[in-house]
Amino acid sequence: MSDLPTAPGMAASLCALHDVGTCRSCPHLSAPLTAQLARKQARVTRLLADGANPVPPRAWEEPAASAPERFRNKAKMVVSGTAAEPLLGILGPGGRGVDLRSCPLHVPQVAAALPVLAHTITELGLTPYDVSARRGELKYLLVTASPDGDLMVRFVLRSRRHVAALRAALPDLQRRLPTLAVLSANIQPVHQAIIEGPEEIVLTEEDRLLMRLQLPEPPGAAVGGVQEGMARRRMRELPLFVPTRSFFQTNTAIAEQLYATARDWADAAPGAAVGRERLVWDLFCGVGGFALTLAGPGRRVLGVEVSASAIDGARAAARLMRLPEGAVRIEAGDASVLDPGAGAVPDLLVVNPPRRGIGAELAARIEASGVERVLYSSCNPVSLASDLERMPSLRAGRARLFDMFPHTDHAEVLVDLRRDRMTHPNRH
Ligand SMILES: C[S@@+](CC[C@H](N)C(=O)[O-])C[C@H]1O[C@@H](n2cnc3c(N)ncnc32)[C@H](O)[C@@H]1O
């Protein structure tokens, strides 16, 4: 349970399952979002100020606040119960299924799709997988919605037994879910905690979801009224393709703010708009959120990613954006062993690693390289603090917290690092 104060006069939170203690996914749901965010900011500020390469408290900009509900663009539902009465949600204490179709965090398109999909499970007689008995076929239902309301639905099955039936059900599903863009069966034959298996059988023509993000332009580019606060922010579209088995940020509105902040900070670099073409590397680039946001006149961007499907998505989005030849290159590779100091040194390095951080090897190479500027986007302030410690000559000038997962302690942070030659005056 949260130790944060609840809103005055608030008898119930947004979620009845939270209030009765059946679902504990949102420990701070009963507290006002402003109090949650203030505490999250204080905790992250303290943690990163205490490190050996500290982020000074004055570096923090205003945090990016999320909507309190309807912000999750994806549902990862464990399927339990029976085919006749499936439960879509989580496994509670003792492996008991808890139905989370009413979860207030899902965007409306996901919330509306779940009952339809439960109905399909019943019609097709898809028996939910029983973890303790190791019997049954349907393990998870994974649903993602784009900002336009298009849906990607993936059935994680133990075998291919029901794939033909699922294929036959497609026209009916498309009738009931007219925005269904991608339907697939993921085969996960192994009894293990990893949700997805390596085999994906796509049943629709489309095998990836188009996410058309809207990034706010810098305040100077505002249009409309002249009075303070009246001007409308101009938006720029960032089209990203999300294939079936690749990472995408969970909170679309916060992802838009994250990419826009990285772009604004990169644009504000000294000499950014003049002179020669700047070289930008985006390591752990996924489907290309940072790489494609930063692509533009005067910049040549290289994205590096390990997931083949994410690479395909990023390349397809670059084509869709009709970027000039060579403006963005997305390459397959292990970013954790790259050496940014080996060849043409990038003017700007963006890193957005998984929770474990960039690790000792890459941190040491960045520290020893001539890279002047690093934007580190982290989903784990603890591994971020360790990585900063390994790069003592890169000092944080700016930082911002992004509330990607409200109601939890999860913190997403962007830090703007610049090389401090006083720390290591003999370098480059
Ligand atoms: C936190 S996600 C960030 C993705 C992307 N920057 C975005 O905003 O959507 C981390 C990404 O790193 C990729 N990844 C994990 N280990 C990697 C490695 N050793 N080398 C390259 N990419 C890796 C994952 O496949 C995933 O796409």
Residue 131 in any domain: the answer is: yes
Q: Is 270 exposed, middle or buried (0-12, 13-18, 19+ CB in 10 A)?
A: exposed
Same domain, 104 and 51: no
| Model confidence at 30: pLDDT above 70 | yes
Q: Which of 208, 306, 380, 412 to mutate to test the pocket of ligand 1 (most atoms within 8 A of CB)?
A: 306
> What pLDDT digit, counting tens, does each position of 51-74 carry?
999 999 999 999 999 999 999 999
Spacing, Cα 247 to ligand 1 middle (Å): 7
Nearest CA to ligand 1 atom 26: 286
pLDDT class of 425 with cuts at 50, 70, 90: very low
- Check which CATH number belongs to the domain holding 182 and give it: 2.40.50.1070
| Average pLDDT over every residue of 360-373 | 97
Same domain, 415 and 312: yes
Residue 92 in any domain: the answer is: yes
Write out the two tokens for 75. Answer: 């549902």
Identify whether 379 is a catalytic site residue.
Answer: yes
Nearest CA to ligand 1 atom 4: 286
Domain boundary among 190, 206, 222: 206
Alpha helices in 210-284 (DSSP H): 252-267
Closest CA to 263 of 286, 243, 235, 242: 235
Nearest CA to ligand 1 atom 19: 334
**What mean pLDDT is reported for the chain?**
92
Spacing, Cα 105 to ligand 1 middle (Å): 25
Q: Which of 215, 242, 245, 247 to mutate to test the pocket of ligand 1 (most atoms within 8 A of CB)?
A: 247
Which of the following is catalytic: 15, 23, 26, 379?
379
Q: Could you give the C-alpha distances from 95 to 245, 312, 318, 385, in angstroms and in order? A: 26, 37, 44, 36
Q: Is 78 exposed, middle or buried (0-12, 13-18, 19+ CB in 10 A)?
A: buried
| Average pLDDT over every residue of 237-251 | 96
CA–centroid distance for 98 within its chain? 25
Range of the domain at 167: 74-206
Spacing, Cα 346 to ligand 1 middle (Å): 19
| Model confidence at 313: pLDDT above 70 | yes
- Check which CATH number belongs to the domain holding 284 and give it: 3.40.50.150
Same domain, 307 and 407: yes
Q: Which of 293, 305, 336, 356 to mutate to test the pocket of ligand 1 (most atoms within 8 A of CB)?
A: 305
Spacing, Cα 297 to ligand 1 middle (Å): 25
In this prediction, residue 207 carries a pLDDT of: 97
Write out the two tokens for 61. Answer: 């900009």
Spacing, Cα 246 to ligand 1 middle (Å): 9
Spacing, Cα 97 to ligand 1 middle (Å): 31
Residue 15 in any domain: the answer is: no
Residue 336 CA: nearest ligand 1 atom is 19
Residue 28 in any domain: the answer is: no
Same domain, 90 and 190: yes
| Average pLDDT over every residue of 223-241 | 71
How many domains does the chain fold into?
A: 2
Domain boundary among 206, 230, 254: 206
Under 8 Å between Cβ of 254 and 225: no
Residue 40 in any domain: the answer is: yes
Nearest CA to ligand 1 atom 25: 307
Nearest CA to ligand 1 atom 17: 306
In this prediction, residue 422 carries a pLDDT of: 73
| Model confidence at 7: pLDDT above 70 | no
Distance CA 50, CA 373 (A): 22
Q: Could you give the C-alpha distances from 128 to 17, 140, 193, 244, in angstroms and in order? A: 22, 8, 16, 21
Same domain, 130 and 181: yes
Report residues whose beta carbon is within 6 angstroms of any ligand 1 atom.
247-249, 284-287, 289-290, 304-307, 310, 334-336, 352-354, 379
> What pLDDT digit, counting tens, does each position of 376-399 carry?
999 999 999 999 999 999 999 999
Residue 241 in any domain: the answer is: yes
Spacing, Cα 351 to ligand 1 middle (Å): 9
Domain boundary among 151, 182, 206: 206
